[in-house]
Amino acid sequence: MSKVKTPIVILNFKTYLESSGEKALELAKTLESVSYESGITMAVAPQTADIFRINDETNIPILAQHIDPISPGGHTGSNLLECLVEAGINGTLINHSEIQMKLADIDKIIKGSKSRDIFSVVCTNNIESSRAAATLNPEFVAVEPPELIGSGVPVSQAEPEVVEGTVNEVKRINKNIDVLCGAGISTGDDMEAAIELGASGVLLASGIVLAKDPKEALLDLVSKV
Amino acid sequence: MSKVKTPIVILNFKTYLESSGEKALELAKTLESVSYESGITMAVAPQTADIFRINDETNIPILAQHIDPISPGGHTGSNLLECLVEAGINGTLINHSEIQMKLADIDKIIKGSKSRDIFSVVCTNNIESSRAAATLNPEFVAVEPPELIGSGVPVSQAEPEVVEGTVNEVKRINKNIDVLCGAGISTGDDMEAAIELGASGVLLASGIVLAKDPKEALLDLVSKV
Amino acid sequence: MSKVKTPIVILNFKTYLESSGEKALELAKTLESVSYESGITMAVAPQTADIFRINDETNIPILAQHIDPISPGGHTGSNLLECLVEAGINGTLINHSEIQMKLADIDKIIKGSKSRDIFSVVCTNNIESSRAAATLNPEFVAVEPPELIGSGVPVSQAEPEVVEGTVNEVKRINKNIDVLCGAGISTGDDMEAAIELGASGVLLASGIVLAKDPKEALLDLVSKV
Amino acid sequence: MSKVKTPIVILNFKTYLESSGEKALELAKTLESVSYESGITMAVAPQTADIFRINDETNIPILAQHIDPISPGGHTGSNLLECLVEAGINGTLINHSEIQMKLADIDKIIKGSKSRDIFSVVCTNNIESSRAAATLNPEFVAVEPPELIGSGVPVSQAEPEVVEGTVNEVKRINKNIDVLCGAGISTGDDMEAAIELGASGVLLASGIVLAKDPKEALLDLVSKV
């Protein structure tokens, strides 16, 4: 799987208790079932410790939340690409605002991902860094203005010019790169607005993970696509 | 399991390909079998992605290689204590020389480990930092002079005074803390020397992980205890 | 100057505009003059770029805000002990909560400071980490509960047991180490309370740096000692 | 000074004792005198503690080795742009391989530098990261393959295609950005080769700092331009 069908919904599980361990597995199954029902591609980015069993018990595409820019060897405590691939990832987030990376390391992980046929989603904070990320040729760029992350205020409505500008600049560098819209997304209106601005999908987290009824929230999310 | 029986052999899998994924599971089973045969406690510290299935398929004690000093929430890419406990850890390495921690964070992780009834092994680089670590009351202090890590030269022979001094200083702070001997350990002679210097076991990695025949190397390791 | 006379007031200039460049020099001169008037030892911890000229134009003791745990060589962008000593420091903060250090590096910088005859002030966040820091034998331990930093609520009143407990534990490890009280200190009452709890002085920042009239604030600070 | 005349020689003082304190000042004066004699622009990137007095006693352009991506406030131990500007910098290195930065922070520092009218030199490790850096519109990109830094083997001879490729890609993004050639440069032949490959100058360090006679080494460096 070097690329996935868009539009796509990627759910970042972060390190919430509501998306850890047994609950991570349940949530992944919920996404899988909504994906079947709606026909919209959905993927999960669980904690590293939960990747193996989600892969074992579901067919949903799985992303690592982070891969360390290391080669095999003496790197105690790091996340090795090869080990994550064997555990079952199909893609990876790179440079999420909560675990940002050095420029050279973003380049290294994108290249490593391509060599293992997994897709990469580089997270960025504005138009300028999105354009820079695009020159490194990941499959996706996910733009998330940091002030909106976890805010409940969707970037597609608060700063539509950031989404639109990112789409334009990224496509100008490489038209094969898809742009995702992150930060504050949680409803069907948010996702619809993102798609209309040129995004190929959304990257979201707390809006679904902490929802009273995640299945209902997911169904609403994709209701207008 | 708040404490394990000593003497103990802890094998740090680091991020070697030889101890990743399927091979991590095999290696854990090898340790488990040598532990049964020899009666010596053995524990493994695999990569995070491999914890779940090693716990699922063996009964060997498992340590995390690293836990991040976070609370549940928005910490993409981090290793959450609660998630690791659910995946199956019984203890954790803390402050390994390849992923050293801030002083306040070492304190935080030791306290968190106690609250979850898992044992903590703080890695240190010399007598002074071992004494400092001991004041934080972990179950184990593992002293590893950095220049000997991966060297094949055992600390128990190259710098016996470091092991002996660490045992004395740590026990003076808290006699219930056990000292492990790391760095360069691989043979039965090395382990025997460590025990004679007052250590309660060894923490090792490449000497076993990269051995031609890890089972034979493990049998040799514990042959003189 | 391997040690300074106590009680002592150390002012951390941090990176406020009000304590940068020309204003850093003025502020240092203000402390120098209040120190002469009051007879209380005062020292400043300015930004690295301001050390040379403060040393050139005043006689006040100067601390580095941070020293990197490096040896001379290829470490672009780092703060080298030898260079800072030549610029004029007499001591250094270590492990401030805004730039915390690994345990082994705290040990390294304390040893390096002793070798250059400058005094070290290790910042800590609670009783446990203060005790750990004390085993490394700095000249001072400055305890600052992180939740009170910049709060205006003095630790000496909000959590007197932390100050008292730190003094007891630190003195039990090494009675020659002096304890400073940080976090939220700004008035004469705060400093008086700190001294009564066994502290040998205070480490403070915004309460003075951002004061309408820093000289008046300093005079008030030492008015009850 | 928002831009400097090219060709340019930038000497990174790093943290060598040979370029610290009094010796940093002497070295800066040496560069200044060779610059006058040769007519080639020369600039220095000394340690932060030495910026003020080099600015005070010479007229040579000065770069910071690193600026932290902070705003004024509570950031103990950090290098604040405003403070460095007041100390006398005219430009800054950004993302040197020894102190690499996150993508968003590179963007932030370039923007901050422009707002203060100082020029920025972004260091990169290969063609891809050079292209990414160029999209952020610094005045210079300095490409330094990490394996050649401090090697004595000049990139202009060992990997001319990296220099040429970087010049092409950077100019394609923004033709106003100049490319510097770093890593292993020390002789007149090295600099000549760099210029012929399209570079606008060189960024160098140990080849001059540790030279027996830095003045002679500098004169040789610019002898063929």
- Pull the structure tokens for residue A71: 């080669």
Share of chain A above pLDDT 90, in %: 84
* Lowest-confidence pick of A30-34, A160-164, B106-110, D148-152: D148-152
Q: For chain D, which residues score pLDDT lower than 70?
A: 1-3, 150
Whole-number Å distance between alpha carbons of C65 and C46: 7
Bridging pattern class, strands C178-182 and B8-12? unpaired
pLDDT of D1 reads 46
List pLDDT tens digits, range C186-215. 899 889 989 999 999 999 999 999 999 999
Whether the pLDDT of residue C3 is over 90: the answer is: no
Chains touching C, CB cut-off 8 Å, 3+ pairs: B, D
Residue D124 with chain A: CB contacts under 8 Å: 103-104
pLDDT at B41: 96
The sheet with strand B178-182 has its strands ordered as B41-45, B8-12, B201-204, B178-182, B140-143, B119-124, B91-94, B63-64
Average pLDDT of the segment spanning C5-31: 97
- The sheet that has A178-182: what strands, in order across it? A41-45, A8-12, A201-204, A178-182, A140-143, A119-124, A91-94, A63-64
Q: For residue C78, which residues of chain D lie inside 8 Å, CB to CB?
A: 15, 98-99
**What mean pLDDT comes out for the span B211-225?**
94
Look-up: residue for tokens 């009452």? Answer: C189
Query: Could you give the CA distance from residue A79 to residue B8 in angstroms, rounded to a whole number?
Result: 26
Comparing A58-62, C154-158, D71-75, which segment has the lowest mean pLDDT? C154-158
- Disruptive mutation site among B75, B83, B94, B209 for chain A (greatest number of A CBs within 10 Å): B83
C96 is catalytic: yes
pLDDT mean across residues, chain B: 94
Determine the residue type at D92: T
Q: What are phi and psi of A190, to 5 degrees?
A: -60, -45
What pLDDT is stored for residue C100 in this prediction?
97
CA distance D128 to chain A (A): 6
Question: According to the model, what pLDDT value does residue B148 have?
Answer: 74
Mean pLDDT of A172-199: 91
CA distance B115 to D77: 34
Work out the angle between the directed axes of helices D48-57 and D22-38 (0-180°, nearest 10). 50
Q: Is there an interface between B and C (3+ Cβ pairs < 8 A)?
A: yes
Cβ separation of C149 and D12 shorter than 8 Å?
no
What SS3 class is residue C2?
A: coil
Q: Give the mean pLDDT of B81-110.
A: 97
Mean pLDDT, rounded, for C58-80: 97
Active site residue D75: no
Cα–Cα distance, B208 to B216 (Å, whole number): 9
Compare CB distances from C99 to D49, D77, D150 and report the shortest one's residue. D77
Residue A12, annotated as binding a ligand: yes
Residue C1's pLDDT is 46
Using omega within 30 degrees of 0 as the cis cutoff, is the peptide bond preceding C46 cis? no
D136: nearest CB among A100, A132, A136: A132
Q: B59: exposed, middle or buried (C-beta count within 10 Å: 0-12, 13-18, 19+)?
A: exposed
Nearest to C99 among D22, D76, D82 (CB): D76
Contact of A100 with chain D, judged by CB distance below 8 Å, is answered with yes
| CB-CB neighbors (< 8 A) of B97 in chain C | 104
State the catalytic residue, choosing from D96, D139, D159, D169.
D96
Judging contacts by C-beta atoms under 8 Å, the chain A residues touching residue D95 are: 102-103
CB contacts of C79 in chain D (<8 Å) are 47-49, 77
| Mean local confidence (pLDDT), B196-216 | 94
Given this model, what pLDDT does residue C30 score?
A: 98
pLDDT for B158: 80
For C105-139, the pLDDT digits (tens) are 999 999 999 999 999 999 999 999 999 999 999 99
Neighboring chain A residues of B65 at a CB cutoff of 8 Å: 76-77
Interface of C with B in 121-180 (CB under 8 A): 124-126, 128-129, 131-133, 135-136, 173
Cα distances (angstroms) measured from residue A51 to each of A7, A19, A44, A207, D133: 23, 12, 9, 21, 34
**Cβ–Cβ below 8 Å for B49 and A84:** yes
* Bond from prior residue into B69 cis (ω within 30 degrees of 0): no
Residues C147, C152, C153, C157, CA torsion sign: positive
Q: In terms of CATH, what superfamily is B8-221? A: Aldolase class I (3.20.20.70)
Least reliable range by pLDDT among A15-29, A113-127, B113-127, D159-173:
D159-173
Of A96, A139, A159, A169, catalytic:
A96
Cβ-defined contact of A77 to B87 (cutoff 8 Å):
no
Q: For position A146, what pLDDT does the model report?
A: 78
Task: Please name the residues in contact with C67: beta carbons below 8 A apart, sequence gap of 6 or more.
Answer: C79, C80, C81, C84, C92, C94, C109, C112, C113
CA D51 to the chain's CA centroid: 15
Beta bridge partners of B93: B121
Whether pLDDT at A1 is above 50: no
CA-to-CA dists, residue B43 to B10, B60, B62, B121, angstroms: 5, 6, 6, 12
> Is the Cβ–Cβ distance between D191 and D223 less than 8 Å?
no
Q: Kindly state the helix (H) or strand (E) to which residue C140 belongs, with its residue range.
A: strand C140-143
By Cβ distance, the residue of A100, A135, A173 closest to D102 is A100
| Distance, CA of C60 to CA of A142 (rounded, Å) | 52
Residue A219 has what pLDDT?
95
Where do the domains of chain C lie?
8-221
Tell me the average pLDDT of chain C: 94
Neighbours of A25 (CB within 10 A): 18
What single string gives the DSSP state of each residue in chain D? --S--SSEEEEE-TB-GGGSTHHHHHHHHHHHHHHHHH--EEEEE--HHHHHHHHHH--S-BEES---S--SBS-TT---HHHHHHHT-SEEEES-TTS--BHHHHHHHHHHHHHTT-EEEEEESSHHHHHHHHTT--SEEEE--GGGTTSS--HHHH-HHHHHHHHHHHHHH-TT-EEEEESS--SHHHHHHHHHTT-SEEEE-HHHHT-SSHHHHHHHHTTT-
For A125, C34, C64, C134, C140, the CA distances from C7, given in Å and listed in that order, are 48, 14, 20, 19, 12
Are C103 and B136 within 8 A, CB to CB? no
Q: Does the distance separating the beta carbons of A82 and B76 come in below 8 Å?
A: no
Q: With 70 as the cut, is the pLDDT of residue A2 above it?
A: no
Q: What pTM was estimated for this model as a whole?
A: 0.94
Local confidence band at B151 (pLDDT 50, 70, 90 cut-offs): confident
Average pLDDT over residues B84-90: 98
pLDDT of residue D145: 82
Each as own residue / partner, the long-range contacts of residues C82-86 (CB below 8 Å, 24 or more positions apart, any chain) are C82/C116, C82/D17, C82/D20, C82/D21, C83/D15, C83/D20, C83/D21, C83/D24, C83/D47, C83/D49, C83/D50, C84/C48, C84/C51, C84/D49, C85/C116, C85/C118, C86/D20, C86/D21, C86/D22, C86/D49
Q: What gap in Å lies between CA B86 and CA B102, rounded to an integer?
A: 25
